[in-house]
Amino acid sequence: MPKSIHSSDYTRLKRLLRDVRLEKGLTQSELAEKLVFPQSRVSKVERGERRLDLVELQDWCRALGISLTTFVRRFQSITRKS
């Protein structure tokens, strides 16, 4: 199984992160402010230039107001469809 940030599953993960942010009505800058880091970091993650580890993903979920469990379920539902 490839570990590339260019895999189809990683592309889906990036899209889901962006989609949840937009669903919550947040800009990249607003999310970055909640996470206490620069907007460029949010952009790099959403573009696939920077990967998140599990602890960071949990922080993102908290900032987005979604549980990690819910986020993972959504991710699983979109990866099962392909």
CATH fold for domain 8-80: 434 Repressor (Amino-terminal Domain) (1.10.260)
Could you read off the pLDDT of 38-82 as tens digits, one per residue?
Answer: 999 999 999 999 999 999 999 999 999 999 999 999 999 998 865
4-50 confidence digits (pLDDT tens): 657 899 999 999 999 999 999 999 999 999 999 999 999 999 999 99
How far apart (Å, rounded) are the C-alpha atoms in residues 52 and 46? 10
Terminus-to-terminus CA distance in the chain, angstroms? 16
User: What are the distances in angstroms from CA 42 to CA 2, 10, 18, 80?
Assistant: 24, 15, 9, 26
Q: The pTM is what?
A: 0.88
Which amino acid, 32? A
